[in-house]
Every structure is written in structure tokens, then in C-alpha cells.
């Protein structure tokens, strides 16, 4: 496998390009996934039911979009050598990430009344899909902030936190039938977004960085939990007692 040149300047340039391109790729995925039901609602056909956009959903969509735009901006600032602005924007990005967490929960449990789940399951069982993402996203964002002075940990932790948020976008792409098997494929595709990071680690480090292993391991665990509960239908009795349902 080809490796990055040993010249420090070449390595730094390649690293900046990798993270900035990954950020742009992720925001493209978000737009494609949510265009029918959010960004271009009413202009294109909706592949999945989305009967309403209550204020909480609108706020969540706007805040998540701003967070992803901030994530892209942060990678572009580093690519442009503006580490000073990157550091100044960091706290604001973290505030947005923290604000997203309770909104993720509220939108997840309030969707029971909206009944916008795919046809193979019911609203209560479907709440496991967003709820399983919350602790994983929160932990990786916290890890990225805690290790912000350790560049390699920080970059990977923040990228992993963004990769974990690709499930909803990929889950809305019309590339698999709305069945449990179809969503298993879509969940697998969401996990596949980690592949470029694995390849990058191997090329630059010769091994997989611990942050990458941690992020992927947590994402895979959350995916397995979702599939188990969706397949057995055993989450509904728990979901029925969640605050806000």
C-alpha cells in the first residue's frame, strides 16, 4: 500500500486535504439524504414518510446543519493554515454539539406521534434508532474536546462523531427497500463511511489509531443494538416509559 511522503510538509498537506475532503463528503451525504424531507421539501418526492415538520424538528434540522457547516469550516480553516480561527470557532462548535444532544432525544421520542417510521416496525420500536446514537455521539464529541491539544486524537474523534451522524442521512437514500433487511444494508453503508479513515490510518501510521477503533467500535455497537431491538420488537415496552413519549 502506498504511503505518504516522509517530508513533514507533504504529510501535513495530505492530512489537511483528507480531513477537509471527508467533511465535504459528509455534508454532501447529509444534503442528499435530507433534501426530499427537509432541504427541498415540497420540490422533490419523499422516499420516506415525513408527515409534518413541527418546530422541534425544524430546530433540530437547522442546528444540525449549522453544526455540519461548522465542522466543514473547521477543516477548511486548518487546511488554510488558520489554526487561530479554528481555535476561536471551537467553543461555538461545541455549544452546538451539546445543544443537538437533547434535541436528538426529543425529536426521537416525539416522532412516536408523527409516526414517520418505515413500514416494517412501529413508532415505539423505531425510537431506538435515534436514541442509540446519542451516547455514542456525545462521548466522541467529549473525547474530541478533552483531547483537543492532541491533534491526532482530536481530529479522529471529531470526524468519528460526524461519521456516526450519517445513519439518518443514509437511511433516507432510496437505495434499499423499506424492510429490516434493507435497513440492515443502509446501516452497513453508514458504517462503511469509516473505511476512508481506516485506510488513512494505515497509510500514515501503519496501524489503526485508537481513536478510530473507539469511534468505529461504538458506532458498530450502536448499530447492533438497533438491529437486535428492531428484529425482536422488544424495545417498545421500554420506549413506552421514556420521558416525553
* Domain that residue 73 falls in: 8-239
Does the structure show a pLDDT above 60 at 16? Answer: yes
Query: For the segment 32-56, what is each residue's pLDDT rounded down to a tens digit?
Result: 999 888 898 878 776 555 667 888 8
Given a cut of 70, whether residue 237 has pLDDT beyond it is yes
| Domain assignment of residue 191, yes or no | yes
pLDDT at 1 over 70: no
pLDDT band at 4 (very low <50, low <70, confident <90, very high): low
The answer as to whether 129 is a domain residue is yes
- The tens digit of pLDDT for each residue in 110-151 reads 989 888 888 999 999 999 999 999 999 999 999 999 999 999
Instruction: Dig out the grid coordinates for 15 from the structure.
Output: 492530512
Tell me the backbone φ, ψ of residue 33, rounded to 5 degrees. -70, -40
pLDDT of 11 reads 81
Is it the case that residue 104 has pLDDT exceeding 70?
yes
- Residue 178 maps to a domain: yes
Residue 245 lies in a domain: no
For residue 194, tell me if it sits in a domain: yes
Q: Give dist(CA 36, CA 47) in Å, integer.
A: 7
Lowest mean pLDDT among 89-98, 208-217, 221-230: 89-98
Distance separating alpha carbons of residues 38 and 168, to the nearest angstrom = 12
Can you tell me the distance from the alpha carbon of 158 to that of 154, in angstroms, rounded to the nearest whole number? 6
Q: Does 5 score more than 60 pLDDT? A: no
Whether residue 15 lies inside any domain: the answer is: yes
Neighbours of 94 (CB within 10 A): 18
Instruction: Read off the DSSP letter of residue 234.
Output: -
From CA 51, how far away is CA 5, in angstroms rounded? Answer: 52
**Average confidence (pLDDT) over 218-239:** 97
Above pLDDT 70, what percent of the chain?
93
Pick the closest to residue 161 from 144, 186, 185 (CA basis).
144
Does 46 map to a domain? yes
Tell me how many degrees the CA angle 233-238-241 measures, rounded to the nearest 5. Answer: 140
Q: What is the number of structural domains in the chain?
A: 1
The three three-digit cell numbers of residue 94, written as one number: 461545541
Q: How confident is the model at residue 170 (pLDDT cuts 50, 70, 90)?
A: very high
141 CB-near residues (< 8 Å, 6+ apart): 94, 97, 98, 157, 158, 161
Closest C-alpha to 227, from 176, 182, 192: 182
Q: How many CB atoms lie within 10 A of CB 52?
A: 9
Flag whether 161 is in a domain: yes
Compute the average pLDDT of residues 199-226. 97
Amino acid at each position: 500500500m502506498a504511503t505518504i511522503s516522509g517530508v513533514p510538509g507533504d504529510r501535513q498537506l495530505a492530512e489537511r486535504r483528507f480531513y477537509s475532503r471527508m467533511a465535504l463528503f459528509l455534508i454532501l451525504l447529509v444534503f442528499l439524504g435530507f433534501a426530499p424531507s427537509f432541504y427541498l421539501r415540497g420540490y422533490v418526492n419523499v422516499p420516506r414518510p415525513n408527515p409534518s415538520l413541527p418546530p422541534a424538528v425544524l430546530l433540530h434540522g437547522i442546528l444540525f446543519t449549522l453544526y455540519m457547516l461548522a465542522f466543514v469550516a473547521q477543516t477548511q480553516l486548518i487546511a488554510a493554515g488558520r489554526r487561530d480561527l479554528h481555535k476561536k470557532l471551537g467553543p461555538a462548535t461545541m455549544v452546538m454539539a451539546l445543544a443537538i444532544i437533547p434535541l436528538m432525544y426529543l425529536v426521537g421520542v416525539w416522532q412516536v406521534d408523527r409516526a414517520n417510521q418505515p413500514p416494517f416496525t412501529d413508532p415505539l420500536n423505531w425510537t431506538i434508532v435515534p436514541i442509540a446514537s446519542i451516547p455514542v455521539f456525545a462521548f466522541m464529541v467529549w473525547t474530541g474536546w478533552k483531547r483537543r491539544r492532541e491533534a491526532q486524537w482530536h481530529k479522529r474523534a471529531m470526524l468519528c462523531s460526524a461519521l456516526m451522524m450519517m445513519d439518518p442521512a443514509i437511511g433516507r437514500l432510496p437505495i434499499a427497500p423499506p424492510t429490516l433487511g434493507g435497513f440492515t444494508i443502509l446501516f452497513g453503508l453508514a458504517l462503511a463511511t469509516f473505511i476512508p479513515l481506516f485506510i488513512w490510518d494505515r497509510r500514515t501510521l501503519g496501524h489503526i489509531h485508537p481513536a478510530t477503533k473507539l469511534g468505529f467500535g461504538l458506532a458498530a455497537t450502536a448499530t447492533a443494538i438497533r438491529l437486535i431491538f428492531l428484529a425482536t420488537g422488544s424495545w417498545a415496552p421500554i420506549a413506552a416509559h421514556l420521558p416525553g413519549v
